[in-house]
Structure 1
Amino acid sequence: MSFNLQQLEMFNAIVAAGSLGRAAAVLDLTQPALSRAIKRLEESVGGALFERHTKGMHLTPLGKALLPHAMSLQREARQAREELDAIRGLAKGVIKVGAVGSIASLVLPLAVRGVLDKWPNLRVEIMEGVWDRLVEGLLTHEIDLALGTSGAESDGVAAISDCRWSDLSYVVAGRDHPLRERGKISLADTLTQRWALTPRGTGPYLHVKETFAQAGLPMPEIAVESRSVTVLKGLVARCGFVGWMSGPMFDTESKAGVINALAVEGLNAPRTLTAFRRRQGILPAPAIRLLDELRHLTGSLPSS
């Protein structure tokens, strides 16, 4: 049986988009034209590939069997085109990626630089936000990759297990914070301070809760909650609040000279970071380029 590559690309587009209408928009086709093409593919394979539902298109057993082969054939054709385009300096496309603030401050910029050095005609769109915003971005196709803390999988979002790395987090305060006068302090000493942190359920909040619980301590009372990294940094740097900051962001802020870690005895707060994708569909080629660069980059970074 021979396959029409264009029909397979349409098949994969419907799987990725979840509906005929969204796939037609992505492919810049009318729905009837896309429907006719899929009908011809179904006639070629000898059965229905999709079940039509009010909420979208679902694969039949025959469609599920075809999917890995269709993805493989499309991927090989795409890679061939990209290699030829790269030789001619013509590789194009948009990388749509989201990241929590700490990743956006170091690892992601390094990965973007590496990709654009190799593929200068690619373009990058970056969304920075807390995890629930990134999940929304993945599910609505605003982004194709999300970079956040591990353990945040859901029905629609899956971790990419071979792209993960680790760093440390710190309790931070302004340079003139009163706790600095004590020298070494305990984690319990910070419970009396005004904390500024991201909301309940976000990665930093959960990491703080886990770290304090491991020390046999309750969660600190959060005086100010905000999803804005800029607001949180301002409260810590200039208003006497205590906060929580991961290694990459902490390195940047400490070099600026206004925020630094408190000397908390025995504090060791590692976290694991992971790339995530939608469970359904295939990654676009530009996103795969960034993912490969992240794998290379984080594989060369020392674990904390």
Structure 2
Amino acid sequence: MSFNVQQLEMFAAIVSAGSLGRAANLLNVTQPALSRSIKRLEESVGAPLFERHTKGMHLTALGQALMPHAISLQREAEQAREELDAIRGLSKGVIKVGAVGSIASLVLPMAVRCVLDKWPNLRVEIIEGVWDRLVEGLLTHEIDLALCTSGIETDDVAAISDCSWTDRSYVVAAIDHPLRAAGKIQLNDTLGQRWALTPKGTGPYAHVKETFESSGLPMPEISVESRSITVLKSLVARCGFVSWMAEPMYDTESKAGVMDALSIEGLDAPRTLTAFRRRQGILPAPVAKLLDELRHLTGSLQKE
């Protein structure tokens, strides 16, 4: 079964708009023309994609199954047009990448600088988030590359094994936090503190749980959960909370004398960071350029 990209665009527009009339206005086509196009798509599929109601149109089970594939095919076609236009000099190529906070703070900006030094006509779009947000971005084609902790492959998302590196995470607190008065402390001394951390299911949460369990300790009680790095840093720097961060995430605050790692005896918490991509489809050429720079840069970091 072959699909017409224009019909898929119209199909997705109706789903988004909720009715033929609103979708026709968005697409700048007549309602009868849009209706005929969807009818041909339904004939190609062999069954109705919508249930028609007086208040709008709702997807059938078949329509719901087609929707994610329609979005994927539509994005692939857009990507192909962008690359061909970039090759012909008609437009700039686009790099769409997502990263966890520590990578977005150091490694990714360095790689982006190197790419743009070599290919100044490229444009880069970056989102920052924890793993579930990055997976969503990959699957909806919002991004083409995700930089995150390793070991979380799925049926749809694969790790790029030759682009990985290691950093270390620490328990961080404000410079004037009372725990610092004790000098060297033990990991279990942090259990009685107010913790602020990303939610369960995220990389930092899993790393904290693994680190405490390896020391025979329970998971700290989390007082505040947030996916916002800005919120977590503010809670640590201004409100007396402790948190868990990789060094690049708080490097600026450390140099400013606002917050830093606590000196905890025996704490060594390395983690591996890896690039991820969708299993299906071709990696866009501009993104491949960024990936090459990341491989070079992270290889240098590993040697250091």
Query: When the two structures are superposed, what TM-score results if normalisation uses the length of structure 1?
Result: 0.73
Q: Secondary structure at the match of 2:237?
A: helix
Q: 1:21 to 1:300 in 2, by over 3 A?
A: same
CA distance in 2, matches of 1:201, 1:253: 27
CA distance in 2, matches of 1:283, 1:215: 41
1:131 CA displacement: 1.0
CA distance in 1, matches of 2:111, 2:101: 15
Other-structure match for 1:294: 294
Other-structure match for 2:105: 105
1:75-122 CA distances to partner (integer Å, 9 max, x unpaired)? 9xx89x95x97xxxx883010000011100000000000000000000
Q: Secondary structure at the match of 1:108?
A: helix
CA distance in 1, matches of 2:192, 2:300: 40
Q: 1:147 to 1:110 in 2, by over 3 A?
A: same
Other-structure match for 1:115: 115
1:261 CA displacement: 0.6
1:21 CA displacement: 2.4
Other-structure match for 2:59: none
Q: 1:118 to 1:158 in 2, by over 3 A?
A: same
Other-structure match for 1:48: none
Within-5 A mapping of 1:50-199? 55-56=65-66, 92-199=92-199
Q: Which runs of 5+ in 2 are unaligned?
A: 13-33, 41-61, 68-79
Matched-pair contact (CA < 8 Å) for 1:169–1:247: yes
CA distance in 1, matches of 2:156, 2:105: 26
Other-structure match for 1:277: 277
Amino acid at match of 1:142: E
1:240-279 CA distances to partner (integer Å, 9 max, x unpaired)? 1011110211323211210111000000000000000111
1:171 CA displacement: 0.4
CA distance in 2, matches of 1:284, 1:208: 35
CA distance in 2, matches of 1:92, 1:220: 48
Within-5 A mapping of 1:31-42? none
Q: 1:219 to 1:185 in 2, by over 3 A?
A: same
Amino acid at match of 1:212: F
Residues 1:263 and 2:283 are matched in the alignment = no
Other-structure match for 1:7: none
CA distance in 2, matches of 1:56, 1:281: 17
Amino acid at match of 1:179: L
CA distance in 2, matches of 1:188, 1:103: 28
CA distance in 2, matches of 1:162, 1:101: 21
CA RMSD of aligned residues (A): 3.3
Q: Secondary structure at the match of 1:192?
A: coil
Query: When the two structures are superposed, what TM-score results if normalisation uses the length of structure 2?
Result: 0.73
Amino acid at match of 2:256: A
Residues 1:21 and 2:8 are matched in the alignment = yes
Residues 1:206 and 2:203 are matched in the alignment = no
Q: Which runs of 5+ in 1 are unaligned?
A: 1-10, 36-52, 58-74
CA distance in 2, matches of 1:285, 1:20: 27
Q: Secondary structure at the match of 2:302?
A: coil
Matched-pair contact (CA < 8 Å) for 1:166–1:303: no
Matched-pair contact (CA < 8 Å) for 1:194–1:223: yes
Q: How many residue pairs were aligned?
A: 248
1:151-208 CA distances to partner (integer Å, 9 max, x unpaired)? 1211211111111001010000000000000000000000010000000110000000
Amino acid at match of 1:290: L
Of the structure 1 ranges 188-197 and 90-99, higher mean CA displacement relative to structure 2 is found in: 90-99
CA distance in 1, matches of 2:229, 2:138: 21
Amino acid at match of 2:267: L
